[in-house]
Amino acid sequence: MSDKNTQAPLLDIRDLSIRFNTDSGVVHAVNHLNLSLQKGKALGFVGETGAGKTTTALAILHLIQSPPGEITSGEILFEGQDILRMTEAERRDIRGNKIAMIFQDPMTSLNPIMTVEDQIMEVVSLHTDAKGEELRNRAHEMLQMVGIRPERGKEFPDQFSGGMRQRVGIAIALACRPTLLIADEPTTALDVTIQAQVIDLIKHLQKMVETSLLLITHDLGIVAEICDEVAIMYAGRVVEYSDLRQLYTKPMHPYTQGLFNAVPRLDSEPGGRLAVIQGLTPDPTDLPEGCSFSPRCPYVQDICRQEALGLKEYEPGHFVDCHFPLGMNGGLGA
């Protein structure tokens, strides 16, 4: 996928494929994925559960468990260097330092037997020369940054609410001022009010720390709040990539259009039924030939069942993996 900007992207994933060898067969989790993110930008990574979003994020950090996981092809270029070709020592230096991740469920990522300030101090001590009181001051600074009183740093994760635990996770992720922050569905486990607070916090801190953001989510509303660009993922592939305004005003892949049609609207008739995408996501151990969305696509043609096109730039900066993109001349949904 060519980039519409002249500068090299901060993150450039090329032809990435990941599979898992299981007793049920080979799971093709990520399939020839291409994705790029510019420095200082926020990219929304959207798709249904099981699309391969989190697997891609873990590959960026080289945390795919092997076995059963295996990266079978591709490059993950970060600041021009291929993470997959680095030594483990070089990757450890990047994790938590230049690339950090906020996990979906903070209770599974926080250590239950360490105080929250000790967990922040541990990350800072791994990647800086700070020691003693300087470390503690840095931890307190990070807690204040996410809206937690420094004196609560001596408490343990189970003494915090879900929203506050997520704030601790954000403080840990940002402790070393990473160049790239990956947020894996950071609001899924939270109630609606706390979701809004966490989203506002991430948006504010992303600008303040000047970090790039890869936001993994299935919520198009959250993407509209935070992101500059959007990548839509289906069955392990990016099927549409564009800046926010282009994608929201003119979705061109039938799957993207289906996602937008399924979002409740304020002007909908009372009691009306939401639109649904017919069918089910394909079995990753038995993906269909051609376009993976073809069994569910209302515009499917014979060529769609025979071969996948791959991302093609139909408009400047607007890439679509579809033979007949909607709204284009010849597009079946035009």
Tokens representing 222 are: 């959250």
Q: Please, which residues bridge with residue 14 across strands?
A: 75
Residue 67, preceding peptide bond in cis (omega within 30° of 0): yes
Q: Half-sphere exposure (CA, 13 Å, Cβ side) for 240?
A: 27
* pLDDT computed for residue 88 by the predictor: 92
CA angle 92, 93, 99 (to 5 degrees): 90
Query: Which regions of the chain are under pLDDT 50?
Result: 2-4, 330-331, 333-334
What pLDDT shows up at residue 272?
Answer: 67
Edge-to-edge order in the sheet of strand 25-37: 25-37, 11-22, 69-78, 81-82
Distance from C-alpha of 65 to C-alpha of 231, rounded to nearest angstrom: 25
**CB of 331 closer than 8 Å to CB of 297:** no
Where does residue 24 rank: exposed (0-12), middle (13-18), buried (19+ CB within 10 A)?
exposed
Cα distances from 11 to residues 131, 135, 246, in angstroms, run 32, 30, 21
Which pair of structure tokens corresponds to residue 119? 């967990």
pLDDT reported for residue 2: 46
Question: What are the domain boundaries of the chain?
Answer: 96-227
Residue 88 CB partners (closer than 8 Å, separation 6+): none
**pLDDT number for residue 53:** 94
The pLDDT value recorded for residue 196 is 80
Q: CA-CA distances (angstroms) from residue 125 to 133, 149, 150, 320?
A: 12, 22, 18, 44
Q: How many alpha carbons fall within 13 Å on the CB side of residue 329?
A: 1
From the candidate CATH numbers 3.30.300.30, 3.40.50.300, 3.40.30.10, 1.10.3720.10, the one assigned to the domain spanning 96-227 = 3.40.50.300
Q: Any long-range contacts for 292-297 (C-beta under 8 Å, 24+ apart)?
A: 292/31, 292/234, 292/235, 292/236, 292/237, 293/234, 293/235, 293/239, 293/253, 293/254, 293/255, 296/255, 297/254, 297/255
